[in-house]
Amino acid sequence: MDELVRISGYVSRFDSVDRGGDIVRRAAFLGARADVPLLWQHDPARPIGRVLSLTEDGVGLKMVAGVSPDCRDGEDALALMRSGAVDGLSFGYRVKSARPRPGGGRELLKLDLIECSVVTLPMHGEARVSAVG
């Protein structure tokens, strides 16, 4: 069995509008634990590794994860990330607290993190992988 290959990047960016009109506010992930799966394209049937750490800073929620090169999806994800073809990050969540935004969308104030994913099209355009391997 090979070692996990580390990736890192921001899964969420704070205080800016995503493609759905939502804004994740600072401290929305307060208390989030890193024991969530790392999925390929949000598909629970396609785990590619595990989240190793989560850190909320002034920019957003930064993730360090380990991708397994021993599974086909993990191997493919690593190849696509290394080539730059796929570099998006995203997360699955349940809303604990939010308020509507004027003109549409929501301010997400408190979230329950369910999973993190490597994705082709992230909801937030600046949620990207910054390092592979």
| pLDDT tens column, 24-72 | 999 999 999 999 999 999 999 999 999 999 999 999 999 999 999 999 9
- Enclosing H/E stretch for 23: strand 23-24
Q: Which two tokens stand for residue 80?
A: 């696509």
Predicted local distance difference test score (pLDDT) of residue 2: 63
Total domains in the fold of the chain = 1
Contact 24, 110 (CB under 8 A): no
- Domain membership of residue 105 as a residue range: 5-132
Which pTM does this prediction carry?
0.94
Q: Give start and end residues of each alpha helix (H) in 10-116.
A: 72-83
- In three-state secondary structure terms, 128 is strand
Q: What is the CATH number of the domain that holds 28?
A: 3.20.16.10
Buried b (16+ CB within 10 A) or exposed e, 37-62: bbbbbeeeebbbbbbeebebeeebbb
CA-derived radius of gyration, the chain: 14
Q: pLDDT digit string (tens) for 67-85?
A: 999 999 999 999 999 999 9
Nearest 5°: the CA angle 103, 104, 106 is: 125
Predicted local distance difference test score (pLDDT) of residue 13: 98
